[in-house]
Amino acid sequence: MRNFNIKRQINKLYTLTTVSYFRIAGASWVALLALRGFSLLQIGVLESIFHIASSCFEIPSGVVADVFGRKKTLALSKLVSVLSSLAMILSDNFGTVAFAIAFSAISYNLESGTIEALAYDSLKSVKQEEKYNQYASTEMMLYRITSSTATLCAGVALWLGYKKAYAIDIFFGMIALGIACSLREISGFTNADSKRTNSQTDKHKQEQIDKQKQGQTDEHKQEQMNEEKNAQKNTQNIRISERLQNVVTESWYFMKHNRKTRSIMFVNALIGAVSTLVLFFLQAKLPTAGLNEALLGPALFIVGLGAALGAKVVGYFPNWKYRKYVILSGVGVLFAFTMTFTGNPYIMIAGGFAGSFADDFLEVRTDILLNDMIPSEQRATLMSVNSFTFSLVMIVMSTLMGSIM
């Protein structure tokens, strides 16, 4: 690709992740809602609304990215995130908060799978796809460190109040929007359509020249130009319609005939859901186990560093079979789950650290493996299927683990 600086593109994606996930209000939204007087039951319902909205929009958002472009979809994601924070500031009852929560889920959907697809295809465009392993590891590490740092600022968010905290999220969201707009679009499906469009355009131009040579009037020239514009617009609409149909049908065909892909997605989602829920319940269980509330933020920050470490370490084991990653991660998450019943807050924190490490250790390797298996034209859609699988497992496991713990 001409004049394409891959290093600049990757660094922008790193910066986008770092800026996007420093959300001090988003990281402490449960505490902020409780401070506003919402009950735990209402907060639980809002959590369900988030996952329901995520399940509904996850795969369509991937289709949007594959059809209309990954850069545009990432920019839209940041815009929706800003609007979600604004809606939360303006919210004054359960219904308006639910609307803001659903909007937040959509912003995650639009980014999920899209940023990975853009990164992989950017590297692939310069024949450096083998470096995606390093990118995925570093990107996940930055995400965990940033989100953990935002969690560490939970006390600051509570001190500021929800309006000022979400205003800070909007500020960083606008910076992220600017970064997204500066990215370079990478498209793997333009060649045939471009040739067809260029051919039609050249034909119309030639006809216009011929008619000009024959002494066409100015009125006829204007009519010809309008016809050309309409023809190009119709061609573009046909291409979009064809792309939508092809992405959906080809993605369905790929999933239907690739049992290995389905198995990888399910196993990854199951281990990830257990780990996520263990960390979620730790927020409630650590104070009741005797941990000083002032230390809750630092404790969750330490647990988050375990995830960052797992994301980084996975790069040192590129030749392991996937089964080894699954076994190691499964053992780590099971250890974290078991430690929550000890009643000792420090052992529980150690378990959470191990579970976070194991979760991201598997997550990064799964991301790399799936991107190697998935066609570029359906990359964002199929990676969204992976996130959709996680959402479905989360809906089931949330109730199950909630009754156990």
Residue 269 is inside which H or E element, if any? Answer: helix 259-288
Tokens coding 342: 């000890």
Per-residue pLDDT at 189 exceeds 90: no
Helices (H), 21-69: 24-27, 29-35, 40-68
The answer to whether the Cα torsion of 330, 333, 336, 337 is positive or negative is negative
Domains plus CATH for the chain?
1-188 (1.20.1250.20), 257-373 (no CATH)
Max Cα–Cα distance, the chain, nearest Å: 92
CA-CA distance, 107 to 173, in Å (whole number)?
Answer: 11
In the block, which residue shows the tokens 């205003």?
167
CA-CA distance, 239 to 193, in Å (whole number)?
Answer: 7
Which of the pair, 187 or 367, is modelled with greater confidence? 367
Phi, psi at residue 157, to the nearest 5°?
A: -60, -45
The DSSP code sequence of 279-344 is: HHHHHHHHHHTT--GGGHHHHHHHHHHHHHHHHHHGGG-TTS-HHHHHHHHHHHHHHHHHHTTS--
**259 alpha carbon, distance to own chain's centre:** 24
Lowest mean per-residue pLDDT among 10-19, 96-105, 146-155, 368-377: 368-377
Phi, psi at residue 182, to the nearest 5°?
A: -90, -5
Which of the pair, 188 or 339, is modelled with greater confidence? 339
CA-CA distance, 397 to 47, in Å (whole number)?
Answer: 13
The DSSP code sequence of 289-303 is: TT--GGGHHHHHHHH
The answer to whether the Cα torsion of 131, 329, 54, 246 is positive or negative is positive
Which of the pair, 211 or 47, is modelled with greater confidence? 47
Helices (H) then strands (E): counts for the chain: 17, 0
Tens of pLDDT along 217-275?
Answer: 555 555 555 554 454 444 444 456 666 666 667 667 777 778 888 899 999 999 998 99
Tokens coding 183: 């990215």
Tens of pLDDT along 290-332?
Answer: 888 778 778 888 888 898 899 889 888 888 999 999 999 999 9
Q: How far is CA 372 from CA 120, 143, 162, 327, in A?
A: 9, 22, 42, 21
Contacts of 266 (CB under 8 A, 6+ apart): 389, 393
Task: Label residue 200 by pLDDT band (50, 70, 90).
Answer: very low
Q: Indicate whether this model's pTM tops 0.75.
A: no
Q: Count other C-beta atoms under 10 Å from residue 177's C-beta.
A: 21
- The pLDDT of residue 188 is 53
CA-CA distance, 139 to 123, in Å (whole number)?
Answer: 14
- The pLDDT of residue 192 is 38
Tens of pLDDT along 57-94?
Answer: 877 777 778 778 889 999 999 999 999 999 999 999 99
Give me the chain's average pLDDT, please.
Answer: 81
- The pLDDT of residue 197 is 40
CA-CA distance, 270 to 276, in Å (whole number)?
Answer: 10
